Amino acid sequence: MIEFGFGISPSSRINLDDFDKEKWNKLVQIEPEILQCISCGSCCASCSGGVFQNVSLRSAILNIRNGKTDSAMELLKGCMLCGKCTMVCPRNINTRNLILSIYKTYSEK
């Protein structure tokens, strides 16, 4: 059979029943500022690590909210904790503390 370049792609459906609400609530309790994030992307635009690796706090937060914690941790792996994103955040979120809290909460088994 001739391949035309079309195929069935894997489902990107998110099962919110698999979402660990307990860890999310723990993260919100530690860092309530996460609820203030408006996903504007200023943190990503100012990121020095984003030039060399795929680093995105905004995408990581959205992935955590959607239950994709593994991909969120991958997006934060290249963070150098320089603090540039903290300086440009329009909501004055301490992003360094937020990233460290995400690591602490989601790296626990």
Q: What is the mean pLDDT of each run of 10 residues along the chain (109 residues)?
A: 69 71 90 93 88 89 88 91 93 94 86
What pLDDT score does 96 carry?
Answer: 93
**Domain ranges for the chain:** 47-109
Task: Give the three-class secondary structure for 15.
Answer: coil
Task: Give the three-class secondary structure for 31.
Answer: coil
- What is the C-alpha to C-alpha distance for residues 54 and 78, in angstroms, rounded to an integer? 7
What residues contact residue 26 under an 8 Å CB cut-off, 6+ apart?
105
What pLDDT score does 109 carry?
Answer: 61
Token match 């503390």: residue? Answer: 97
What pLDDT score does 49 carry?
Answer: 83
CA nearest to 76, candidates 48, 97, 92, 53: 53
